[in-house]
Amino acid sequence: MSGHPLDGVTVVSVEQAVAAPFATRQLADLGARVIKVERPGGDFARRYDRTVHGQSSYFVWLNRGKESVELDLKDPADRGVLDALVRRADVVVQNLVPGAAERLRIDADTLRAARPELVHCSVSGYGPEGPYRTKKAYDLLVQCETGLVMSTGTDDAPAKAGVSIADIATGMYAYSGILTALYDRERTGEGATLHVAMIDALGEWMSQPAYFSRYGGEPPRRTGAAHPSIAPYGPHRTAAGEIFLGIQNEREWATLCDTVLGRPELAADPRFHTNDDRVAHRAELTAIIEAAFAGLDADQVADQLDRAGIANARLRTPEEFTRHPQLTARDRWRPVEVPGGMMDALLPPVEVTGRPPVMGPVPALGEHTAAIRAEVAE
């Protein structure tokens, strides 16, 4: 099998930061031509840090395989370049501040009035209506508004997620929405107007704790690295190091008691008989498990758990993850060119047999401006 699934699809994205660039980078990995329109001075995510050969770790993650064109959309000549690109595009994406797309007349109503076959995707913080429609939104702030921060951390202090989870959720829904619209266009010839709001995307991911709190009549349970509503599920100390284990059902619980802990009677103990019982008596249960592990190191405990069929994991740093033996064994890293050097980038999660992802270079600011100006002038 040759080629890529989105060969021949052109995406023009007036984008910045994380959510929209994450969506369009995945389209680029599938073979789409993605033209990234950057303001004078560039996407501000280019300056978040300088850790990857002088480039931002955010930017190199989000923008491989794209063409960068630097345009001042208030300048008539530059605006003409954008208009020419839009006329040739299959997909237009924008995540400008609220109201900017309408002022620049790159909103869906304007562009699709002339080209109904266009797929237009807008990304915002809070959606196009309602009292928050003009409010700026960044990842941490949306984590706050959706209850994620109050659901994470410990009893003493709430905490944010360690990654840009609101942006990632939003980018994923924009990506899947665009793919769906392109599929539908193949059948109907009609494009689509898509809108993805960060509060809706992360809100979907927050549904379980939201339902649990609303219908359970209790505030969020902040339990650190332990699961708030399943036990035992989380970290346990050994003689050397911690092991994370997860019990999902009563069969696994009985196996843990009998085969690993050597305490089969615990399975029927009224304190631990059901998951609700185990959550209510989490501290007592953790003490019992850790006492059983006290004479073993984490590797020995992991071996016992594996032989018993009990899910477990070791705690790794992000840097240790890049050297994970499972990823190495599966050859999951590929070299990607960035301005100033080469980096190892993780393959996209979905493997398509016979169609490796493109994973093209990360562009320098305005690297393709001259070529694109010449192209649209033809």
Asked if 222 contacts 155 with a C-beta cutoff of 8 angstroms, the reply is yes
What string of H, E and C letters represents the secondary structure of 75-107?
CHHHHHHHHHHHHHCCEEEECCCCCHHHHHCCC
Specify the CATH number of the domain 10-206+331-377. Answer: 3.40.50.10540
Q: What is the pLDDT of residues 80-120, one digit of tens each?
A: 999 999 999 999 999 999 999 999 999 999 999 999 999 99
Query: Which CATH fold topology does 233-316 show?
Result: formyl-coa transferase, domain 3 (3.30.1540)
Q: For the whole model, what pTM was predicted?
A: 0.91
Long-range contacts of 174-178 (CB under 8 A, 24+ apart): 174/19, 174/20, 174/23, 174/93, 174/121, 174/123, 175/22, 175/23, 175/26, 175/27, 177/121, 178/23, 178/27, 178/91, 178/93, 178/119, 178/121
Structure tokens at 367: 């690297």
Structure tokens at 19: 């959510």
Residue 358 DSSP SS3 = coil
Structure tokens at 49: 């840090």
Q: Give bridge partners of residue 244 from the DSSP assignment.
A: 235, 313
What distance in Å separates the CA atoms of residue 339 and residue 362, rounded to the nearest whole number? 7
What distance in Å separates the CA atoms of residue 292 and residue 232, rounded to the nearest whole number? 14
What distance in Å separates the CA atoms of residue 311 and residue 302, rounded to the nearest whole number? 9
Tens digit of each residue's pLDDT, the chain (378 residues): 568 999 999 999 999 999 999 999 999 999 999 999 999 999 999 999 999 999 999 999 999 999 999 999 999 999 999 999 999 999 999 999 999 999 999 999 999 999 999 999 999 999 999 999 999 999 999 999 999 999 999 989 999 999 999 999 999 999 999 999 999 999 999 999 999 999 999 999 999 999 989 998 888 888 888 898 899 999 999 999 999 999 999 999 999 999 999 999 999 999 999 999 999 999 999 999 999 999 999 999 999 999 999 999 998 999 999 999 999 999 999 999 999 999 999 999 998 888 899 999 999 999 999 999 999 987
Q: What is the pLDDT of residues 27-49, one digit of tens each?
A: 999 999 999 999 999 999 999 99
pLDDT at 107: 95
The stretches of the chain forming alpha helices (DSSP H) are 19-29, 57-62, 76-88, 100-104, 108-114, 139-145, 148-151, 165-188, 198-205, 207-216, 250-255, 275-280, 282-293, 298-308, 318-321, 325-329, 369-377
Asked if 245 contacts 252 with a C-beta cutoff of 8 angstroms, the reply is no
Q: Based on the residue annotation, tell me whether 53 is a catalytic residue of this protein.
A: no
Q: Of how many residues is the chain composed? A: 378
What distance in Å separates the CA atoms of residue 344 and residue 237, rounded to the nearest whole number? 34
DSSP string, 275-291: HHHHHHTHHHHHHHHHH
What distance in Å separates the CA atoms of residue 282 and residue 235, rounded to the nearest whole number? 12
CA distance to 83, 94, 95, per residue, from 73 (Å): 10, 13, 15
Among the listed residues 227, 273, 281, 368, the single catalytic one is: 227
pLDDT at 342: 97
Q: Which of 90, 88, 80 is nearest to 120 (CA)?
A: 90
Structure tokens at 268: 């029927």
What distance in Å separates the CA atoms of residue 192 and residue 185, rounded to the nearest whole number? 8
Integer-rounded Cα Rg, in Å, for the chain is: 25
Domain boundaries, the chain: 10-206+331-377, 233-316
